[in-house]
Amino acid sequence: MITAKPRVLVLDDEPDLRTLYELALIGQGYEVDLAGDLQEARQLLKHESFDVLISDMRLPDGLGLELVQQIAQERRSERCIVITAYGSAENAVNALKAGAFDYLTKPVDVQRLRDVVAQALAVAPLAQSIAPGMSSARKGAGELGPSSPTKPPAAATISEALNEPSAYALSQIVGGSAAVRDLKAKVLKVAKSMAPVSVVGESGTGKELVARALHACSHRAAGPFVPVNCAAIPENLLEAEFFGARKGAYTGASADRSGYFEQANGGTLFLDEIGDLPLAMQSKLLRAIQERQVRALGAATEMAVDVRIVSATHRDLAAAVAAGRFRQDLYYRINVIELGLPPLRERKADLPELCDALLARIVGRPVGAVRLSAESLAALARLDMPGNVRELENILHRAWALAEPDEAELSLRLGFDTNPETPHAGAECLSAANQEAQQNLGQAANASEWRQGASGLPSDLTAYLDAQERAILLHALQQHQFNRTAAAQQLGISLRQIRYRIARLGIELPAAAAASEE
């Protein structure tokens, strides 16, 4: 069977560079066409279709970015790679926002050029199977050539286009509400690019699940996915953790160690709670992202890394930039594409499906084997749940821990008023869920309050320990009027650690206390 060669259009006004790129790509088995300016490229695109477009940024009759934007607006199938001047981070960001698949900086490394083209071609089959009307055989659209309009892909078509790992990753984002369907569609679309993605949402909304889905649906799925909790790393270890260290670089460095960037090479680096990084580290992180090179502590040379950055935060980074707590240039560099995650209170229709999925994981049985009663679901729907899915999971852990053996329909023992009409004692008081946890401080260690096995021990150690930790943290916070620094010192942990634990356990702080330490 004869297979058509992938077609690449190279747009550059320098004849020597056009020839260099052509020879490098022909040697890889590609069919290459050349253009010296925008007008010539538009004429070729009007009558032909290509798999990849490589364009210089500055051309005699305009910017290559204009052509990238036109291709994106007309929904053509070409993957665009833009060549920018060395160190021109702003142009690179603009290119990715305009719809470019990736960018290269001058002077262009030939092997890097081949790698990026190969990556661009690797995502084409998925894009074409999701949108059959946009195959490489078709002509362009609008001014670049005639085209019949295409309808949005049906869900079944998308499902069939995904391989097993990517379908599984998407299935972990549970729910059938309009907000969740829209989120999954955006994940599929964004996954095809190399552009950095910022996942924004309240604590407990599932930002890491979305990051994993982005990775699994991308052409990097076979590479590593490296999640990093930026808030949990001691400040004096940040550089070694991110960039690695050579033997003898510091006291205790008895062997070479790889950093997160090296571990994620060829894959995705997920930077969770990036807003908690100190300013000094933000500067070093920006350079690594921008130049795609890292230098390990004690190393003589830099190492090139091929990593896609996905970051997440529950903070308002724009406000942090305005307050001088987050670098503006890093903010623009990681926030090329923003994915907003809806809080649970805005998708209450997903509660039954979410509860079934979470209970199946908690209980270790198939979905539907243990369910909530209708009354309990109605009670959950009346809760605000500022801790979102994480808080819901904690509530379900408690329900199962207190359930009778072999109980198939659970009734929640919430222990607090779920009526939204009931006013709280005041703005500075704890939420009802926090009050309950505080009241249970002495009860959490009582095995009789937990569903026990034959040994008299709790059958769900994770839920048992989480409840104890949550109650202890609340007690310490109350003692210090919710001053996290003072509470952390009393408990012998760092401020970063207590912030992480508060977020993980879905502890709600009074608004004034939360704002005072920002």
User: Which strand (E) or helix (H) includes residue 151?
Assistant: none
Q: CATH classification of 346-422 is 1.20.120.450, yes or no?
A: no
CATH number of 162-340: 3.40.50.300
pLDDT average, residue stretch 278-301: 90
Distance of CA 123 to the CA centre of its chain: 19
Identify which of 197, 330, 332 has the alpha carbon closest to the alpha carbon of residue 268: 197
Tokens of 297: 């502590």
Tens of pLDDT, residues 393-436 = 888 888 777 776 556 566 665 443 444 444 332 223 334 444 44
Residue spans in the chain of domains classed CATH 3.40.50.300: 162-340
Q: Please report the pLDDT score of residue 1 as a whole number.
A: 42
Q: Say how far apart CA 50 and CA 8 lie, in whole Å.
A: 6
Q: Say how far apart CA 214 and CA 119 lie, in whole Å.
A: 16
Superfamily of domain 7-144: Response regulator (3.40.50.2300)
Q: Please report the pLDDT score of residue 54 as a whole number.
A: 94
Three-class secondary structure of residue 196 per DSSP: coil
Query: Hey, which residues does 246 pair with through a beta bridge?
Result: none
Tokens of 50: 């290509």
Tens of pLDDT, residues 125-139 = 433 333 333 333 333
Tokens of 282: 């933000």
Q: Say how far apart CA 452 and CA 192 lie, in whole Å.
A: 48
Cα-based angle 103, 188, 282 (whole degrees, multiple of 5)? 50
Residue 115 has pLDDT above 70, yes or no: yes
Provide, rounded to the nearest whole percent, the portion of the chain with pLDDT above 90. Answer: 31
Q: Say how far apart CA 104 and CA 81 lie, in whole Å.
A: 7
Q: Say how far apart CA 346 and CA 130 lie, in whole Å.
A: 29
Tokens of 138: 């078709």
Do 230 and 277 meet the contact criterion of CB atoms below 8 Å apart?
yes
Q: Say how far apart CA 381 and CA 201 lie, in whole Å.
A: 20
What CATH architecture applies to the domain 427-443+461-518? Orthogonal Bundle (1.10)
If one compares 160 and 299, the residue with the highest pLDDT of the two is 299
Residue spans in the chain of domains classed CATH 1.10.10: 427-443+461-518
Task: Give the confidence band of 144 by pLDDT, cuts at 50, 70, 90.
Answer: low
Q: Say how far apart CA 411 and CA 399 lie, in whole Å.
A: 7
Contacts of residues 363-367 at CB distance under 8 Å and 24 or more positions apart, as own/partner, are 363/400
